[in-house]
Amino acid sequence: MISVTKPFLPPKNVYDSYLEGIWKRQWLTNMGPLASELEMRIKEREGLNHLLFVSSGTIALQIAIKALGLKGEIITTPFSFIATTSSIVWEGCQPVFVDIEETSLNIDADKIEAAITEKTTAILATHVYGNPCDVERIAEIAQKHNLKVIYDGAHAFGVRLKGKSIFDYGDVSICSLHATKLYHSIEGGLLVTQDNALLKKMEYMRNFGFAGPERFAELGINGKNSEFHAAMGLANLDYLDSILVQRKKLTERYWLRLDKANLVSPVWHKSATNNFAYMPVIFENEETLLKCMEQLKLREIYTRRYFYPSLAAILPYLTPVSMPVTEAMAVRILCLPLYYDLAVEEVDLICRIMLNAKNN
Supply the mean pLDDT for the chain. Answer: 97
Above 90 in pLDDT, residue 244? yes
Give the pLDDT of residue 205: 98
Q: CA geometry: angle at 46 spanning 42 and 52, to 5°?
A: 45
Question: What confidence tier does 360 reach under pLDDT thresholds 50, 70, 90?
Answer: confident
| Contact assessment for residue 353 and residue 287, using Cβ atoms and an 8 Å cutoff | no
Which pLDDT belongs to residue 54?
A: 98
Q: What is the pLDDT of residue 359?
A: 84
Rounded to whole angstroms, how far apart are CA atoms 207 and 29?
11
- What confidence tier does 209 reach under pLDDT thresholds 50, 70, 90? very high
Backbone angles phi, psi at 184, to 5 degrees: -145, 165
Write down the number of H helices and E strands in the chain. Answer: 12, 13
Q: pLDDT digits over 276-326, tens only?
A: 999 999 999 999 999 999 999 999 999 999 999 999 999 999 999 999 999
pTM flag (> 0.85): yes
Structural domains in the chain, sorted by start: 12-237 (3.40.640.10), 240-359 (3.90.1150.10)
Q: Cα separation of 94 and 117, whole Å?
A: 12
pLDDT, position 104: 98
CA distance 342 to 297: 17
pLDDT above 90 covers a percentage of the chain that reads 98
CA 59 to chain CA centroid, Å, is: 13
The full 3-state SS of 313-354, as one line of letters, equals HHCCCCCCCCCHHHHHHHCCEEECCCCCCCCHHHHHHHHHHH
Predicted confidence (pLDDT) per residue in 16-61, tens digit: 999 999 999 999 999 999 999 999 999 999 999 999 999 999 999 9
Which pLDDT band, with edges at 50, 70 and 90, does 188 fall under? Answer: very high
**pLDDT at residue number 95:** 98
pLDDT in tens, 336-359: 999 999 999 999 999 999 999 988
Residue 260 pLDDT exceeds 90: no
The answer to whether 294 touches 274, Cβ cutoff 8 Å, is no
